[in-house]
Structure formats: structure tokens, C-alpha cells
Amino acid sequence: MSVAASRSRLQGVGIVAGEVEAAALVCAERIGFNLGVDERTGVVVERGHPLEGQCVAGRVLVFPGSKGSTASSFSLLQLASLGLAPAAIVNGQSDAILVAGAVLADIPLVHRIDDALLATIRSGARVRVDGTRGVIEILDDTCN
């Protein structure tokens, strides 16, 4: 299958500007960055979380929204200072804590992608995120 044939486009609302292209990391559960993601390694450490053991660094992180402590804004900043932040964030609905963290850490952020459409993005797929226009393009979904 050619890249062009598998390309699909999702329209959301752009919240933090920036364009990036990277491999997606997708989960259907909320993420609590403070205490849920190790800020020294970028690895999800929350027990039982679907992404437990996976590293968020450099990925287009696709999840419904964040949860937990108001300190999570600074968790994103800490990850970014070590080069371990996600390349972009795609949410169903972002909250103020996550948005503030994305601004601080300069992470492009798009939200208001329908949950059913979010689920069509597969982990590992090449994804382009445009945080200004709120557009997600799935470039190559032939990987596993």
C-alpha cells in the first residue's frame, strides 16, 4: 500500500502552535503526568496503565485527556528540559493543567478530535500534527 493511499486527515482544534511529524503512541485512557510518568526517563510508570513501560519521548501522544495533580504542567516542562517530552499531544478534550504544560514545554497540541476517530490512530503510525490549524494527518498506517 502506498503512503498516499493510506493517508487520512482528522480535523480538531489547534491549541498550541507548531508542526511535527513522528510516530504515534496511542491509548484510550487518561494520563496523569505527575507521578504517572517518570520525569527522568519519560516512561509511563502508573501501574496497570495501558502504556505502562512505554516511553513518551518524541512520540505523537494520542489520548483522551489528562488526569490527576495540578503539578502535571511542570512534569511536561521537566520532560522537555531533558529532551524527553512527547513531540506533540492529541486529545479528545484537554484540560487547563495540560494546556499550560504544553505552552511551558512548547509542545504542539490539538484537541477535540472525536474519541472514535482518536481510536483509529494506531500506535507506530507516522503522524503529522499541525498545532496551528488543528489538523492531524495519518501518513503511513502500514506499520504494526
Partner 1 sequence: MQLTIGQQDLLEGRGGVAVPQAMRMLVAVGQAMDAPDLIEVASAHIVLDAFAMGRAGADWIASLRAGGSRFVVPTTINAISFDRRAAAADDPGNAFDTWQRRMLDDCEAMGALATCSCNPFNQGITPLYGEHLAWSESATTAYVNSVIGAHTNREGATAIASALTGFTPRYGMHLPAARLATVQFDVRCAADGEADLNLLGALIARQAGNEIPVITGLTRPTADELFGFAASFAIVANLPMFHIVGVTPQASTVAAACGGAAPRELKPVTAGDLDAERARYDDATQTVIDLVTIGAPHASLRQIRAVADLIGSRKVREGIEFTLTTNASNLALAGSCGLLDRLDAAGVTVTADKMCFGCDLGGRKFGQRAVLATNSVKAALSAPGTRGVKVRYGTVVQCVEAAVSGRWMSEESQCS
Residues forming the active site: 69
Q: Kindly identify the residues of this chain, within the stretch 37-56, that bind partner 1 according to CB under 8 A.
A: 39
The DSSP bridge partners found for residue 31 are 66
Residues 6 or more apart in contact with residue 80 via CB below 8 angstroms: 104, 105, 106, 107
Please tell me the distance from the alpha carbon of residue 103 to that of residue 17, in angstroms, as a whole number. 9
* Binds partner 1 (CB under 8 A): choice among 31, 72, 86, 129: 72
Q: How far is the CB of 73 from partner 1 (least distance, A)?
A: 4
Q: How far is the CB of 93 from partner 1 (least distance, A)?
A: 8
99 lies in the binding site for partner 1 (CB under 8 A): yes
Q: How far is the CB of 4 from partner 1 (least distance, A)?
A: 32
Please tell me the distance from the alpha carbon of residue 56 to that of residue 41, in angstroms, as a whole number. 9
**Helices vs strands, H then E, count in the chain:** 5, 8
111 lies in the binding site for partner 1 (CB under 8 A): yes
* Binds partner 1 (CB under 8 A): choice among 20, 103, 135, 139: 103
Return the C-alpha cell found at 121: 490512530
* Binds partner 1 (CB under 8 A): choice among 102, 113, 121, 136: 102
Backbone angles phi, psi at 11, to 5 degrees: -105, 125
61 lies in the binding site for partner 1 (CB under 8 A): no
